[in-house]
Structure 1
Amino acid sequence: GASGLVSVHIPATVTNIGASAFAYCPLLMTFTVDSANSAYQSLYGVLFSLNGTVLAQHPVGRGGVYTLPEGVATIAAGAFAGADGLTSVIVPTSTTAIGDGAFASCANLAAVYFRGDAPTTGEDVFGKVLGIVYYPPTASGWGATFGGLDAFAWNAAVEAGAGFGMQGGVFGFNVVGSSGMVVIVEAADDLTSPAWTPVSTQTLSNGSAPFEDPGSVDKPSRFYRLRMP
């Protein structure tokens, strides 16, 4: 890739970009697209097809967590390739296909969370990646591995016993599940018309993590649920 490339503007006249055209550009942070372009659009700096069903290229220089928008059906070949700063990706239920080498050489990609059934994959989707794939227990098409990575059902649960209940004036419990999994704990004050609010994001080091809710102190009742990122 072009080592010094920071941004890319797609003019109206460019309507066909080859696979992996901007992969391995380590400093690339954003795409912009001419409003008259008939094939592509930029959403928050990420390059998509005009109808939003194909994620064509994620800027390689961006790191952290990325959540694909619902409606993306295809992750293009090389779309994230070489994104060393990427740590986790959340893939929506709408995604049904992942292209060749889409996440290749993402050196720090630790977890990929799928919210739906297993998509079809091209070659070396996760080449040189050592992360883990998580999927909903009720989803179909999953096995012990996916694209060469270990795959586990997202099986977070609340552990009864020591640590469950009021501790030091606040309510808490232990969250258990597959080691390394990320769990978001949400709370609501009633179940009639619940307004679920994220309270904590837990990483299950060695398969468990303690949770405490400071907001429980002055609540007559409090309800909790666990969800994927």
Structure 2
Amino acid sequence: PYKGVYIIPEQVYYDGANYQVTAIADSAFFQSKATEVQVPNTVTTIGECAFAYATDLANITLPLHLKDVSKMLLAGTNVVNVAVPEGVKTIGWGAFQSCPMLHTMLLPSTTKRIDAYGYNNCHNLFEIYCAAPTAPEASGWAIFIGLSGIDVIVPDDDAVAKYAANAVWGDESTFTLYPSEEVSISMTGEVEKYNDHYMRFALGNNLAYKIYKGDELIALTAADFYYVPITAEGAEYYIVPTNMMNDAEATKVVIAPSAVKNVTDDLDLPTVYGRDGSIYIHGNTHGEMVTVFDMYGRLCFRRATNGDEVITLDRGIYVVLVGNHPTKVRL
């Protein structure tokens, strides 16, 4: 059911209550048609094969508090650049196996181990930025087998010496080791309105980006875009290019909903109607917040939609908000 850009919400509404999203199930997006996925920071666990063989998937933002990269997490996808957040210790079995477009991998200082088949068959892997001062264990089978010409950038000259002494990382037929250098990149701070609920920053450049809302770090991503919610008061963000070891100068972006380009001006209004005890919502509604109130103003349903919705409720009169568009429905 997942397709296109999918921004996983921090909360979901179910059976009369809101629940915080803390985990993504095994195979949740397996073979889906998602092209971009942004996982919220409420998530700490992502199951095995969660995005495996979603062959349209090119961009992903992992949550800041992720514990580990699970088995076959992104195997068989078309991700290009991936940043793994601080705190992750293990890259699981086959996590990035057979990712034909994978170009740049950015690993945190906490990285301790890469399991078997971790990067097997990633023949376009060009560079690995690894902030770990000591070479991660990579003794499993076929982690980098058949790969060559990979630049590995590590914290400093001492780290280069430690990696060079490691049987795997010191293999000059596969890797060339370099100490990290200053990151210098200019950003335009380009931002555009994606839909009625989100705006997005244009990123790219085969680097990672730390994104702050005020003083709070809200994301680490190597995706081409990062999506932020539209708020009535606007918000101030800072975008910091990073290679996980050195940061570039921050670019300040102030978002005011009326001051940005809308890339979906031709968005059709949704169709909302009631029939046979259910509310039906059709149209280009992906990412829109759907909220349903009864005639007394009580909240009956609320969640971001990934497309068409069917909401089953008791007989009565309801007000359905799809984004900012209200519709009165009788069941």
TM-score using structure 1 length = 0.49
Give the structure with higher Rg (CA): 2
Normalised by the length of structure 2, the TM-score is 0.36
